[in-house]
Amino acid sequence: MTEMGDAFREHREYVRRQKDRRRQISTDTFEEASDLAFENDMELTEKVAQTHYQLTVYQSHEPLRFWLYNLYPITRRIYSDPHHKGPFLKVRRWTFVDIVKAAIEAKKP
């Protein structure tokens, strides 16, 4: 029974380290991705500290035409807002810079 408990504790520690690593990667790439987004009529904002971010992709300089993506770096999830749904983002690696680059590609006509 203790072997199973040890395996569970090891797995739980592995998952915690993965989450910490993903959180650190998102923190490290946020500024660069935010600058890249700003240069391309987008906005990357932090909604909940190191947990929830939003990428707003503005369309043709109209205030009501935009795509909204909710980004969760710890679980590596990207949710498109149902009211401001954008195209599927093809991301190679899950970093903010790669997500912004994918949004730039999706924005091209």
Give the model's pLDDT for residue 42: 92
Give the model's pLDDT for residue 89: 92
Give the model's pLDDT for residue 30: 93
Stretches in the chain below the pLDDT threshold 70: 1, 61-63
Residue whose C-alpha is closest to residue 24's, from 95, 101, 90: 95
